[in-house]
Chains A and B, each alone.
Chain A
Amino acid sequence: MTILDDVTTWVPVAPLERLGVDRGAGAMVGPWQVAVFRVAGDDVYALSNFDPFSQAYVLSRGIVGTRGDVPKVASPVYKQSFDLRTGVCLDDPAVAVRVFPVRVVEGVVEVGVPPSDRS
């Protein structure tokens, strides 16, 4: 994955403090439904909100936690866990959801959209 390298557009999503700690929130970034997570220590992650197992856009509503050292979210539907850093499903590594670049600029969370994906 080389998505990170050619990011050109950053979309501000919400002030960091609007996001609950260890909880996710859904956001529309262009045409994408993104699940943005703020975990304790104020690391932020952004995954697609799409849960491939239930085909519903719900990952933002899962419970955030860790497996070993891996920060993860468990889908609220059938409970598969996804690595917040890579989007890879920890229970079935053949499945992954896409990861969006994310950063905090002056207290505002921004999600990056790769140029190839902008519509």
Chain B
Amino acid sequence: MTRPTLVVAGNGMVGHKLVEALAERGGLDAWRVVVFGEERRLAYDRVALSSFFDGATEDDLTLVAPGAYDEIEVHLGDPIAGIDRAAGTVTSAAGVQVAYDALVLATGSYPFVPPVPGSGLPGCFVYRTLDDLEAIRHDASGRRVGAVVGGGLLGLEAANALRNLGLEPHVVEFAPRLMPMQVDDGGGAVLRARIEALGVHVHTGMQTTELAAGDDGRVAQMRFADGTSLDVDLVVFSAGIRPRDELARACGLDMGERGGIVVDSACRTSDPRIFAVGECAVADGRVWGLVAPGYDMARVVARRLLGGDAEFAGADMSTKLKLLGVDVACFGDVSTGESITFSDAVNGVYKRLVITPDGTRVAGGILVGDATAYTTLVQMARGDMPTPDDPAALIAPAAGAEPVGVGALAGTATVCSCNNVTKSAICDAVAGGATDVGAVKACTKAGTSCGGCVPLVTQLLNHELAAAGVEVTTHLCEHFAYSRQELFDLIRVHRIGTFAELLARYGTGRGCEVCKPTVASILASLGAGYILAGEQAALQDTNDHFLANLQRDGTYSVVPRVPGGELTPDQLIAIGQVAKDFGLYTKITGGQRIDLFGARVDQLPAVWARLIAAGMESGHAYGKALRTVKSCVGETWCRYGVQDSTSLAIQLELRYRGLRAPHKLKSAVSGCARECAEAQGKDFGVIATEKGWNLYVCGNGGMRPQHAVLLAEDLDTDTLIRYIDRFLMFYVRTADRLERTASWFNKLEGGIEYLRRVVMDDVLGIAEDLEADMQRHVDTYECEWKATIEDPEALARFRSFVNVDGPDPNVVFVRERGQIRPARQEEKPTPLEVLL
């Protein structure tokens, strides 16, 4: 059977998304796809375009996975020149003719160049494609002054780019202020001061009347309506965009009033065989000039092409960016309603909130210089969170950042149980001048032992600092001025593959024990492969480095995986035999596994070689990763059970084994409401019902016990797994370093309702992404110990000393209850060390 033909005009961000979304749904079996692209390259990340001047290469920016276009006919550098709707054909500029059954226009938009005499002179550029940027870079060398026409978001970005190229940057804006579409005079003034402080010259209220050429025929001077002028060597136009609707216009499709191809909620044009998506389309009455709504449109069309009935329902136009190091955010609708404004020219902060005409809700707003309240406010504007009675407080200084919970904690509450430090002691330390976690640790000893309370200490510290009016940063450590979540996004969006690259682009110094393992974990979550490969090895905490758990005397414990706690007698004997042969202490853990203690670094490979030969695999007791899925015997053996909890537990454990996360993850499955597996004390837990499975999330045993919350009821197994996939990946992407699901949940604005909307209703539109991430994890999983045993280079690390064989003489065991235990200090020969 021959497949119908789909022609896609344009291989920009949205056109590519369409192809990708179609392929993901198996659409390449149903359609023969032919893509025409005007640019010479396959789709790349236009949003990150400016990073090209920061050192990103064409490869860094590409959006196309190797091989993704193997089954697709692509004509690059050959735009479609005409559409014959009656015949159902397109013809390219080079004369290629293709008959289509469906046609998708994804032609994007073009930069608007005001009709000023001289705008076509050599030395004048626009800022839209990689070719544009290459041309600018090529032209900029050796030149001195660069001007950008247009002071909107993109114009300021372009100015920064010129600055990066070593030019003296100027921004010329026709309106009386910068970002005229988004801010009022007050905001513009604040923004201007910030931008000028960075060395960008700002000229507002300037109408460019002419660009004059110098002797060499290049642009040399900008002349303005007020008679003044500016000598320039290079000019970039960034004065807005216009949809590329020329093809559609020529073949008589319906157009929007101000241009753009009109489409319905299925993204269909006035010709049912033709769709339009992205910046060339007018959907829901407007052109959506951001990439996320474009992606939504692409997914809608992919579904439609496969017989589905998805609709484009409009999108959130909120944006937050760091522009030349200045936070700028706009969200919601700022066009109608009452405004509340907060402006602090001294500190360069400007915030404006627009309240709906009926006064009940935040409609939208703009934040310049301080965007900490952004997340909360966006949720309010979306209606996901109630707007408080006094909205002005939302933008007053230091509002909106307060984490829920710690403020309410009693002063006598123990925060660090290892060292018995109370909340009051920590607050006193902060009042006494401690302003970072290190200082709090040094004066209270909190967090200096097991480290489990560090997140709580950090929250308390931030809470106290905020209460004292001190600005709190979410910076991961001194090497990165970003939170874990921000780093996660940077790594994902810019496809950063190594710590060195991340450090070079976004960090300072050489890293430390905080950022290195965090980045290692992020890279692992994003599928960077074997954790001891190459540079990654140096980033790992000792546990991950030696794939075992460091114990107090410097020896390690070994934990083979026992999925669901089910173990055959032969496996039990094999574990026992290994323990006996290597003289290890054995203990059954709380998570239904067997822990073998007392192995020295140099013994680990031999221990694992034996365990692997007996069919065991790594239990990841060392990583911030999935530990166990505990189970009861369920319906198979138990007279009360209503479902097969053991089988499900095994299935879940095998699915999520090895998944790297901000913290360890534990899970359990109970076969009925009697809850013998204690599923409600786990990061995610499942309890069988007569009709299916109830899913609980964000529970915690341990130091701060917290019951899990019911997320969804009576799920079938497929849906259950889908929800767990989404939940886990959402947590992995957004939680802070060393933050378990319970603390993450306590800080989550909107609570369980919000989580339900993300996981079940997919309000963020990321469910597919999250599932795909998880699937990649599942598909690429391999036992790290198996990989290590097979890799001589990795094995070479497992020695006590580089220069002599043999064990650490300071590791001494004594016998107790028939097994070994580490000798106490007084039971050991005196160490040779002399401390200063």
Contact = CB atoms under 8 A, between A and B. Distances in A.
A55 B831 contact: yes
Contacts of A31: 832
A78 B516 CA distance: 16
Interface in B505-555: 509-513, 515-517, 535, 537-539, 541-542, 545-546, 550, 552-554
Interface in A47-69: 48, 50, 52-58, 61-68
A58 B516 CA distance: 19
A40 interface: yes
Interface residues of B, number: 46
Nearest to A14: B802
B512 A63 contact: yes
A19 interface: yes
A27 B832 contact: no
A58 B543 CA distance: 12
B802 A74 contact: no
B589 interface: no
A2 B546 CA distance: 37
Given A32-B832, A55-B825, A96-B836, A63 B541 contact: yes
A31 B479 CA distance: 37
Interface centre among B449, B804, B836 (most CB of A within 10 A): B836
A20 interface: yes
Contacts of B510: 22, 39-40, 64-66, 71
A60 to B, nearest CB: 9
Given A61-B546, A78-B449, A13 B803 contact: yes
A98 B448 contact: no
Interface in B119-161: none
B835 interface: yes
A14 to B, nearest CB: 4
B808 interface: yes
A65 B550 contact: no
Interface string A22-39: 110111110111001001
A31 B808 CA distance: 11
B810 interface: yes
Contact of B835 (A39, A81, A97): A97
Contacts of B512: 63, 65-67, 72, 74, 81
B538 A54 contact: no
B538 A64 contact: yes
Nearest to A32: B832
Contacts of A32: 832
B581 interface: no
Of residues B441, B539, B800, which shows the largest number of chain A Cβ atoms within 10 Å of its Cβ? Answer: B800
Interface string B469-481: 0000000001100
B322 interface: no
B802 A26 contact: yes
Given A19-B802, A40-B510, A76-B542, A63 B438 contact: no
A50 B448 contact: no
Interface residues of A, number: 54
B89 to A, nearest CB: 59
A33 B810 contact: yes
A96 B542 CA distance: 21
A21 interface: yes
A91 B438 contact: yes
A20 B802 contact: no
A5 interface: no
B550 A77 contact: yes
A63 B517 contact: yes
Contact of B448 (A64, A80, A97): A80
A4 interface: no
B249 interface: no
B562 to A, nearest CB: 26
B583 interface: no
Given A57-B554, A97-B833, A68 B803 contact: no
B442 interface: yes
B797 interface: yes
B834 A98 contact: yes
A67 B836 contact: no
B706 to A, nearest CB: 25
Nearest to B441: A91
B451 interface: yes
B640 interface: no
Contacts of A81: 512-513
A106 interface: no
Given A31-B832, A63-B513, A63-B517, A18 B538 contact: no
Given A40-B510, A61-B545, A79-B513, A56 B802 contact: no
B803 A56 contact: no
A51 to B, nearest CB: 8
Given A13-B802, A80-B448, A98-B833, A57 B513 contact: no
B552 A54 contact: yes
B112 interface: no
Contacts of A63: 512-513, 516-517, 539, 541-542
A76 B538 CA distance: 13
B803 A76 contact: no
Of A19, A48, A87, chain B has the most CB atoms within 10 Å of the CB of: A48
Nearest to A20: B538
A29 B804 CA distance: 9
A57 B808 contact: yes
Interface in B778-836: 797, 799-804, 808-810, 825, 831-836
Contact of B511 (A23, A36, A66): A66
A18 B449 CA distance: 32
Nearest to B545: A61
Given A55-B825, A56-B552, A76 B832 contact: no
Nearest to B555: A56
B509 A66 contact: yes
Nearest to A51: B554
B835 A95 contact: yes
Contacts of A53: 448
A98 B521 CA distance: 33
Interface in A78-109: 78-81, 87-88, 91-92, 95-98
B542 A58 contact: yes
A22 B538 contact: yes
A36 B799 CA distance: 14
7 contacts: A26-B801, A26-B802, A28-B803, A58-B542, A65-B511, A92-B442, A96-B835
Interface of A: 12-14, 18-23, 25-29, 31-33, 36, 39-40, 48, 50, 52-58, 61-68, 71-72, 74, 76-81, 87-88, 91-92, 95-98
Closest 10 CB pairs of A and B: A65-B512, A76-B542, A56-B554, A74-B513, A63-B513, A66-B510, A96-B836, A14-B802, A66-B509, A22-B538
Given A55-B825, A88-B836, A97-B835, 13 more contacts: A14-B802, A19-B802, A25-B801, A26-B802, A29-B803, A50-B831, A57-B554, A66-B510, A76-B541, A77-B550, A78-B449, A87-B836, A91-B438
